[in-house]
């Protein structure tokens, strides 16, 4: 269960934050950050590795010292160094790092010079004008900090879908192990595959209510039991995610599932429709007067309203009820529809596995093709490829394809779009590839007009077949850049370029509403993993979730086509 990995990663993150505020050596800080990343991306359970006596220093970025710390954290739940640092500096100080504009240096100075520890205290200090006097701050900075902290305080905490998913999977498995527990479903925004989740809403049916609640509050990741009653309980997990559990009567399971899956807007619209028909819908069933006419299954709830079952990803009150009434619900894309992946990296740049390893993993997932698309030379940190290395990789791919069975590796590149919209490699280097992905990795700050022009120019390049992560956003970290998406789509359509839906949990970019726009504009979407190691192919499921939220069907997705059709599509351009 990878949850333990996340807990260890959280300790390392906190260590890095605290060391950064103390002004420690950057290499030491980065070592902890890298180790945290390794653990977050690890598919096996590090606790189990220890039990099996495996050598943790085999893991990327983990040396003897870090291996010792992991051991200590897994066995004791914390580590001595962290406890010491927490004694030296109060717990809340690290939260200040989450406020945009507050780096370790500023946080250190706020803490040392003003004894400020919490966001609320920062806000008060800013409003009192105490911050401007600190060396390196000034009045303008003070105003900026004031508004950033205010925004931070008013923002509810949300979790990325993939992170919530790790907790949800582990919790569901834990609940299912209890005797007497029958059904376990996670409803809410998680079931709708929203890119972020506020809390988990778990629905359970069980023969013995008590045992189910016991099992729930006994989940190893529970930090605090917030409330607990005969048929429901709420807990907060380590890491902060809240989980509400409700025990349901089997006969109203469908109604409750429907109700707690939401969204609220969908439910409101559904209730309105029910009222028009003289019916009442709530979490206990569908009623005509006092008579219950449906509710044991979700299908029965929708059927009572003369609707077909509506997939959870569509339940956002974005026209799905009208579509359902008209018999025009889309037949949504499914994970199993994907025939290949069009975006992946290897050890040639910043990936962690070889062509052979990546291809074997893709094949094991049932994919029939995989494009290797490394970064281009501008991405120096990632060892981006120049013309010569790209050619050499192409030869390696030819050799691979000559001997490989069951999967075809495509030659690609993820080439940077430069500031002026030209590409980071010459056309002659791109012309021989199967696939060219163009990507913005810089100058996110350009004006809407400039950013749009820049991307349109890149799409004019006859070699480009796919536009990577079209808005550039990183969920919770970086807003989308400002771009006229409709213009981009129309150019993409004209140039027969596909838009990427990058399934990396931090990106999920194309955004759902843009997926729908692409469909309306007749632009194909490619759902890609952007895998940097074999475990990351699993992220495709989140990309498919986002695509479903964007109403995409199999025919709207480029890599749902078999290899031959895909090659025809790429060649036609
Ligand atoms: P989240 O947790 O913020 O990511 O979003 P949800 O959609 O999971 O919302 P949550 O956890 O507050 O509630 C779960 C579901 O319960 C929600 O999607 C619909 C249903 N629900 C909650 N409150 C109301 C309400 O006041 N009216 C209606 N009709 N449904 C509600
Ligand atoms: Ca929820
Ligand atoms: Ca909830």
> Tens place of pLDDT for every residue, the chain, 573 residues?
567 888 899 899 999 999 999 999 999 999 999 999 899 888 788 988 998 999 999 888 899 999 999 999 988 878 999 989 988 888 778 888 888 888 899 999 999 899 888 888 999 999 999 999 998 899 999 999 999 898 888 777 899 999 999 999 999 999 999 999 999 999 999 999 999 999 999 999 999 889 999 999 999 999 999 999 999 999 999 888 999 999 999 999 999 999 999 999 999 999 999 999 999 999 999 999 999 999 999 999 999 999 999 999 999 999 999 999 999 999 999 999 999 999 999 999 999 999 999 999 999 999 999 999 999 999 887 889 999 999 999 999 999 999 999 999 999 999 999 999 999 999 999 999 999 999 999 999 999 999 999 999 999 999 999 999 999 999 988 889 999 999 999 999 999 999 999 999 999 999 999 999 999 999 999 999 999 999 999 999 999 999 999 999 999 999 999 999 999 999 865
Residue 2, pLDDT score: 62
Distance from the alpha carbon of residue 267 to the mean position of ligand 2, in angstroms: 14
Residue 118, pLDDT score: 87
Question: Within a 13 Å sphere around the CA of 400, how many CA atoms are in the beta-carbon half?
Answer: 23
Q: Residue 430: CB within 6 Å of ligand 1?
A: no
This model's pTM is above 0.75: yes
Residue 109, pLDDT score: 92
Which residue, by CA, sits nearest to atom 2 of ligand 1? 198
Q: Residue 258: CB within 6 Å of ligand 1?
A: no
Q: Residue 189: CB within 6 Å of ligand 1?
A: yes
End-to-end alpha carbon distance in the chain: 45
Distance from the alpha carbon of residue 132 to the mean position of ligand 1, in angstroms: 42
The tokens describing 163, both together, are: 């992170």
Which ligand does the CA of 234 lie closest to?
3
Which residue, by CA, sits nearest to atom 19 of ligand 1? 262
Query: Strand locations in 187-307, DSSP E?
Result: 196-197, 199-206, 222-228, 232-237, 242-247, 280-282, 285-288, 291-294
Neighbours of 413 (CB within 10 A): 29
Atom of ligand 1 nearest to the CA of 158: 4
Neighbours of 282 (CB within 10 A): 16
Quick one: which H or E segment has residue 373? Answer: strand 369-375
Distance from the alpha carbon of residue 190 to the mean position of ligand 2, in angstroms: 7
Taking the C-alpha atoms of residue 542 and residue 339, their distance in angstroms, rounded to an integer, is 16
Give the strand pairing for 242-247 and 408-416. Answer: unpaired
Q: What does DSSP assign to residue 421? A: S
The dihedrals phi and psi of 236, each to the nearest 5 degrees, come to -115, 130
Q: Residue 502: CB within 6 Å of ligand 1?
A: no
Which ligand does the CA of 264 lie closest to?
1
Distance from the alpha carbon of residue 198 to the mean position of ligand 3, in angstroms: 8
Q: Residue 481: CB within 6 Å of ligand 1?
A: no
Rg (CA), the chain: 26
Quick one: which H or E segment has residue 165? Answer: helix 161-176
By the 10 Å C-beta count (0-12 exposed, 13-18 middle, 19+ buried), 84 is classed as exposed
The tokens describing 101, both together, are: 């504009």
Residue 382, pLDDT score: 83
Per-position b or e across 369-381, b if 16+ CB within 10 A of its CB: bbbbbbbbbbbee
Q: Among 245, 261, 264, which is best to mutate for testing ligand 1, by the most ligand atoms less than 8 A from CB?
A: 264
| CB distance 348 to 319 below 8 Å | no
Taking the C-alpha atoms of residue 180 and residue 175, their distance in angstroms, rounded to an integer, is 10
| Planar angle of CA 429, 431, 435, nearest 5 degrees | 100
The tokens describing 388, both together, are: 């010569």
Question: Within a 13 Å sphere around the CA of 454, how many CA atoms are in the beta-carbon half?
Answer: 25
Residue 136, pLDDT score: 87
Short-list 357, 398, 352, CA closest to 374: 352
Measuring CA to CA, how many Å separate 411 from each of 109, 367, 433, 455?
51, 16, 5, 23
Residue 408, pLDDT score: 98
Residue 7, pLDDT score: 85
Q: Which residues pair with 233 in a beta bridge?
A: 228, 245
Give the strand pairing for 525-528 and 498-502. Answer: parallel
Atom of ligand 1 nearest to the CA of 262: 18
Q: Residue 198: CB within 6 Å of ligand 1?
A: yes
Taking the C-alpha atoms of residue 98 and residue 113, their distance in angstroms, rounded to an integer, is 20
Short-list 235, 218, 217, 221, CA closest to 166: 221
Which ligand does the CA of 189 lie closest to?
1
Atom of ligand 1 nearest to the CA of 194: 4
Atom of ligand 1 nearest to the CA of 189: 8
Taking the C-alpha atoms of residue 149 and residue 46, their distance in angstroms, rounded to an integer, is 36
* SS3 at position 410: strand
Which residue, by CA, sits nearest to atom 16 of ligand 1? 260
Which ligand does the CA of 200 lie closest to?
2
By the 10 Å C-beta count (0-12 exposed, 13-18 middle, 19+ buried), 71 is classed as middle
Q: Residue 312: CB within 6 Å of ligand 1?
A: no
The H helix count followed by the E strand count for the chain is 23, 17
Q: Residue 264: CB within 6 Å of ligand 1?
A: yes
Q: Residue 119: CB within 6 Å of ligand 1?
A: no
The tokens describing 359, both together, are: 């291809």
Measuring CA to CA, how many Å separate 19 from each of 6, 304, 432, 447?
20, 60, 48, 37
């Amino acid at each position: 269960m990878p949850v333990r990995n996340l807990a260890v990663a959280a300790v390392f993150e906190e260590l890095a934050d605290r060391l950064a505020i103390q002004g420690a050596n950057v290499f030491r800080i980065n070592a902890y950050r890298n180790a945290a990343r390794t653990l977050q991306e690890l598919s096996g359970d590090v606790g189990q590795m220890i039990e099996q006596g495996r050598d943790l220093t085999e893991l990327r970025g983990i040396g003897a010292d870090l291996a010792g710390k992991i051991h200590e954290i897994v066995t004791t739940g914390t580590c001595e160094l962290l406890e010491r640092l927490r004694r030296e500096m109060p717990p809340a100080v690290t939260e200040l790092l989450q406020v945009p504009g507050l780096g370790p240096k500023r946080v250190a100075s706020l803490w040392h010079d003003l004894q400020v520890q919490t966001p609320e205290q920062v806000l008060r200090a800013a409003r009192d004008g105490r911050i401007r006097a600190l060396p390196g701050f000034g009045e303008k900075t003070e105003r900026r900090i004031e508004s950033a902290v205010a925004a931070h305080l008013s923002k509810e905490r949300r979790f990325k879908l993939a992170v919530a998913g790790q907790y949800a999977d582990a919790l569901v498995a834990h609940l299912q192990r209890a005797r007497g527990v029958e059904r376990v479903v996670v409803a809410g925004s998680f079931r709708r595959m929203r890119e972020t989740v506020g809390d988990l809403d778990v629905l359970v049916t069980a023969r013995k209510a008590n045992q189910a609640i016991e099992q729930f509050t006994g989940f190893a990741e529970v930090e605090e039991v917030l409330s607990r009653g005969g048929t429901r309980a709420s807990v907060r997990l380590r890491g902060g995610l809240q989980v509400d559990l409700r025990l349901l009567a089997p006969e109203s399971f469908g109604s409750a599932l429907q109700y707690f899956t939401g969204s609220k807007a969908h439910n409101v619209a559904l209730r309105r429709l029910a009222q028009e028909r003289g019916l009442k819908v709530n979490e206990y069933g569908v009623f005509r007067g006092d008579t219950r006419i449906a509710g044991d299954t979700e299908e029965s709830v929708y059927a009572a309203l003369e609707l077909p079952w509506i997939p959870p990803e569509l339940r956002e009150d974005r026209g799905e009820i009208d579509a359902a009434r008209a018999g025009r619900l889309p037949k949504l894309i499914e994970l199993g529809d994907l025939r290949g992946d069009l975006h992946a990296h290897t050890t040639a740049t910043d990936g962690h596995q070889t062509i052979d390893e990546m291809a074997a993993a893709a094949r094991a997932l049932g994919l029939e093709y995989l494009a290797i698309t490394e970064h281009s030379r501008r991405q120096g940190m990632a060892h981006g490829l120049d013309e010569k290395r790209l050619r050499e990789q192409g030869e390696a791919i030819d050799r691979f394809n000559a001997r490989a069975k069951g999967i075809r590796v495509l030659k690609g590149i993820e080439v940077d779009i430069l500031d002026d919209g030209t590409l980071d490699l010459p056309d002659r280097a791109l012309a021989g590839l199967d696939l060219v992905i163009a990507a913005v990795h810089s100058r996110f700050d350009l004006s809407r007009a400039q950013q749009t022009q820049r991307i349109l120019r890149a799409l004019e390049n006859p070699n480009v077949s796919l536009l990577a992560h079209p808005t550039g956003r990183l969920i919770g970290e970086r807003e989308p850049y400002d771009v006229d998406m409709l213009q981009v789509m129309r150019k993409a359509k004209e140039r027969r370029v596909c838009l990427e839906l990058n399934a990396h949990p931090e990106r999920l970019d194309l955004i759902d509403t843009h997926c729908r726009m692409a469909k309306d504009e007749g632009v194909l979407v490619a759902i890609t993993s952007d895998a940097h190691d074999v475990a990351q192919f699993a992220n495709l499921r989140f990309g498919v979730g986002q695509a479903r939220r964007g109403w995409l069907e199999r025919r709207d997705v480029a890599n749902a086509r078999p290899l031959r059709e895909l090659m025809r599509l790429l060649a036609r351009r």
